[in-house]
Structure 1
């Protein structure tokens, strides 16, 4: 019971209200969508307590978070492709990511698919990848596949972390979040390398 109360206290009020009123899935979708576009709050800090509180819907929660992120990713791509000079520049200024955008744009030109996967898994603001992919007219199918792979690894990886470590998952994420991201990135790169080798 104490664990449940601790997990509930880790959630913001809107998430508690959504969970208690039965609208958790739509609220999580919207939160993931907004986090993907501009809100600089790690969704993981909300998702982990929810995964702990609702273990029977663990994989569904991860899927909804992924769906919200993908919709946000499409909006971000569209802003980069058609509204970069207005909304795109403003978004980068708000995030303080102008330099990161310039660097990632070059990386995207050189590494393409894997550049998007790397940013999608690591703590670098994903808005940078969205805007750069749209601004450079990166193929949208490849962009969506890379985003799905990256964020799928991230959200379903969190669900697996909660399944393995339970209540300790949140403290582990707070303490070792960057290392966990690095481990997930290594798995993604390894998988991509194996795919490249098999299809060579």
Structure 2
């Protein structure tokens, strides 16, 4: 735990003191989405708190970095699943998550991607599954953008409103909030799909 805290503090100081802070954040978001096991919020919340004049730009580049990574992961699932994709899933220990999500994705598609983008579940599972199934990339990118946009812009709004207190709030309530928001979004999208089906 001490190692993680020290490493996070070093990342924060390095990024906050850099002229290329936004580029570094986009890169960190890309890496976190692809493979890093440390939640980016540990760096993002204090950065937003001390850079409130750039808080929306920080949310934007973080969302963009995640979106680019999501499309890369989609490409891995679509083109390289049998080699790189299977190795990656085994390396990250996501076999059970991947198998469980496949049935959920087959049934709900867009709503499933939205939900997993908000819920505390590795998003790599959604990226590879969507690419492997040939799901339309534009719809996948839209779902990823909405889900991660809600995550990062919502965080920016909280920091803008409550400042540094958000860090302790996030540590205490991140799981419950993610589950609640993911469930609401999932129910909303499923309700819209059902309504569209009745109309058509």
Indicate if the aligned counterparts of 2:45 and 2:164 stay in contact, CA closer than 8 A. no
Q: 1:74 aligned to 2:71? A: yes
Q: State the alpha-carbon separation in 2 of the partners of residues 72 and 164 from structure 1.
A: 29
Q: CA deviation at 1:162?
A: 1.1
Please tell me the root mean square deviation across aligned C-alpha atoms, in Å. Answer: 1.9
Measured after TM superposition, the shift of residue 14 of structure 1 is: 3.3
For 2:52 and 2:184, how far apart are their aligned partners in 1? 25
Q: Does 1:41 align with 2:34?
A: no
1:100 to 88, 97, 102: 97
Whether the aligned pair in 1 keeps the contact of 2:63 and 2:145 (CA below 8 Å) is: yes
Report the alpha carbon displacement of residue 107 of structure 1 after superposing the two structures with TM. 0.9
Distance, in Å, in 1 between the alignment partners of 2:7 and 2:89 is 30
Change (3 A) 1:103 1:186: closer
Question: Cα 1:183–1:56, aligned 2, differ >3 Å: closer, same or farther?
Answer: farther
Partners of 2:190 and 2:103 in 1: how far apart? 22
Partner residue in 2 for 1:184: 181
Partner of 2:54: 57
Structure 1 stretches lacking a partner, 5+ long: 1-8
Q: Please state if 1:144 is matched with 2:148.
A: no
Query: What SS does the aligned partner of 2:17 have?
Result: helix
C-alpha displacement at 1:157, in angstroms? 0.9
State the alpha-carbon separation in 2 of the partners of residues 192 and 138 from structure 1: 17
Superposition TM-score, scaled by structure 2 size: 0.89
Paired positions, count:
192
Whether the 8 Å contact between 2:49 and 2:159 is mirrored in structure 1 is yes
Question: Which residue number corresponds to residue 5 of structure 1?
Answer: none
Quick one: distance in 1 between partners of 2:186 and 2:100? 20
Q: TM-score, normalised by structure 1?
A: 0.89
Aligned to 2:3: none
Matched with 2:166 is 169
Measured in 2, the distance between the counterparts of 1:119 and 1:45 equals: 20
Deviation at 1:86, TM superposition (A): 1.3
